[in-house]
Amino acid sequence: MSPLPEAELVRSSVQLYRYLLRCCRRLPAGPVRQHYRHAIRQSFKVHADEDDPVRIQQIIKRAIEDADWVMNK
């Protein structure tokens, strides 16, 4: 089960970014939320030059799985 029901609709990097930030809103306010928001921003900066569609889909899948893990932690 994904952290939010919209996970299966994520197809692009912009949709993933918005989805992950919405997940962050469900975390407790404070340092934990700030940490994950910062990590999301940094990850998008690192992968900004990615142009292989297969690799982009792999990154999206992994990010959703990681968000699921964090939300269930």
Place of tokens 């982009």: 56
Instruction: List the pLDDT tens digit at each of the 73 positions of the chain.
Output: 456 677 778 888 899 999 999 999 999 989 999 999 999 999 999 998 999 999 999 999 999 999 989 888 7
Q: What is the pLDDT of residue 7?
A: 75
* Rounded Cα gap, residues 50 and 53, in angstroms: 8
**Predicted pLDDT of residue 39:** 94
pTM over 0.85: no
Where helices occur in 3-52 by DSSP H, the ranges are 13-25, 31-46
Residue 63 tokens, joined? 């990010």
CB atoms within 10 A of CB 51: 6
